[in-house]
Amino acid sequence: MVAARSAVDDLHLGDDLVVVGAHSATRDELVRVHSGIYLDELSAYCYSGGGDIDQDTYATLDSFTIAKYAAGAGLAVIEELQRRNDGVGFVAARPPGHHALADRAMGFCLLNNVAVAAAALRSQGERVLIVDWDVHHGNGTQQIFWDVPESSTSRRINGPSFRYRLGERSRRSHAADRTVNIPLPPGATGDVLRRGIDEMPDRSLTRSTRPGVGVRGL
């Protein structure tokens, strides 16, 4: 978080930088991507004191409240961008989200923040491109939209570590032809990333699906 804020400061955006306050995501906003039973269980687990969920993921008394604000931060930025009808949004929030499944916490993630944001946009009729930007595979985001008709177009940009990999080729789905994985070598720099995007096998992805909004997240 400190590094992210320092990087934003280094851009010297001046008056072009607008800081938007986060709000807590509502249950209706969360159940678009998470099961109600899971939300109830996670809430009860946290409010009873929390503890270890798996080898990477734990929760405390305040974790569910904080996670709802992390999920709501993206929604607040979307609302501000729509009000201004211009701009680019950036959300620095913890806990992260892209490993959280519809019914399970995983990989430091309790609620899937980017999925909540994408689902909110889809509920408004937007076509959304999700760019998953992390060394680990965004298995939770993929699982959530994997069986959704006319699902959000997803492009996964991954490094060499696929610890939370979901076998995307093991089962066909609505999203199968709209998902692209771009493996990158360790220590890849910006020019390597750009080349990977420019040379990806299906350059027609964005043309064929015509996304109106791009969401990057982890």
Work out the widest C-alpha separation in the chain, in whole angstroms. Answer: 50
Q: Which residues are within 8 A (CB) of 142 and not within 5 positions of it... i.e. 6 or more apart?
A: 132, 154, 156, 166, 168, 175, 179
CA atoms within 13 A of residue 166's CA, in its CB half-sphere:
21
**What gap in Å lies between CA 185 and CA 169, rounded to an integer?**
22
Verify whether residue 99 is a known catalytic residue.
yes
- 99, 136, 137, 174: which one is catalytic? 99
Task: Name the burial class of residue 184, with classes exposed (0-12), middle (13-18) and buried (19+) by CB atoms within 10 angstroms of its CB.
Answer: middle
What's the distance, CA 25 to chain centroid? 14
Which residues does the annotation mark as catalytic? 99
